[in-house]
Amino acid sequence: MPDKPIDPAALEASSSSSFDVMLPLLGIMAMVIGLLCWIIWGFLPESFRDSAWYSVEYSVDWDQVHVEKFPTDCAWGHAPIGDKGCHYQQKVETLKNDRGVITDVFVTWDKVVE
């Protein structure tokens, strides 16, 4: 019994229809994964996020990023409750070696009185 020849047009039609179905599903999965990553990133401690962010930005190891703890004396919810007339602005400084390569990153907070 001879084999039937395979019609290339039929193969292309069947593969494109499965691709048309999979493409929206892949898009939805990518959006869900992106949303989950964004939510998880928001729940991480700020010191961890800053260390991760600046280690990537300045191409240094995590142990070379030094993050000062965020001061709370201007926070609305700390005693006495209410507006304190101040806030803190993040300040990033880098330390370079003799060749101009960044070796350490320091994240500090400057108090700004309003």
> What are the pLDDT digits (tens) for 41-78?
888 887 788 888 899 999 999 899 999 988 888 888 87
Mean pLDDT computed over 96-112: 93
**DSSP state for residue 109 in the 8-state scheme:** E
Tell me if the pTM is above 0.75: no
Q: What is the pLDDT of residue 64?
A: 94
55 versus 21: the higher-pLDDT residue is: 55
Residue 102 confidence class, pLDDT cut points 50, 70, 90: very high
Q: Where are the beta strands (DSSP E) in the chain?
A: 65-67, 86-96, 102-113
